[in-house]
Amino acid sequence: MAREVLSRTAYLDRWQELHGGYDPRSSRLVGPWLTIVQAVARPLARLGVAPDVVTLSGALVSALVVWVVSLQGRWLVLAAVIVGLSGLLDSVDGAVAVLQQRTSAFGAVLDSVVDRVSDVLYLVAFWVAGAPLGVCVGAGVVVMVQEYARVPPRWAWTTSAWSPWGSGPRVSSSSRCSCSRQASTPARRTCG
């Protein structure tokens, strides 16, 4: 039986709320991306697929990249396509959570952990593809530093129960959640 999910307008309104008031409709990049993400997420949300299942599926897809890269040759092109699919899944999990009104601090943490595991798997794939180890380590440092340097303190692990920075995003206490990215990057569990 199909579940009732948020409309596109309500989804974008909720996304805006979770991102400190940033309106994705004002961006020629974020708005269209979220339209694609919502179109992919909507059938999953209506079927009742749990957001955590989508998150964990993204981890499996990321792991698949290492194996495909190990095949070498033309398989590297398929690996690049799989990385793109993994990125889409990383946005879809949050969209499913928003559409089902199931955003949570646990989901945000799970998404963040899976994102870091995926980053490491991509670096391993880069190394398996033949990149020098030093380049892989350097890329890893850049990825990790940029990931956390751009997160303003008010967004990092923002449930007030354990945030060292105080209260989180402006959401009602009945729907308090976490978001560890700014509005320009829609790839977090509660960000959809």
Residues noted as catalytic: 115
108: Cα within 13 Å, side-chain hemisphere:
22
Task: Report the C-alpha gap between 130 and 24 in whole angstroms.
Answer: 39
Q: Are 155 and 100 in contact (CB under 8 A)?
A: no
Q: Are 11 and 191 in contact (CB under 8 A)?
A: no
Tokens of 192: 């959809």
Q: In sequence order, which residues have a C-beta less than 8 Å from that of residue 164 and are 6 or more positions away?
A: 157
- 187 SS3 class: coil
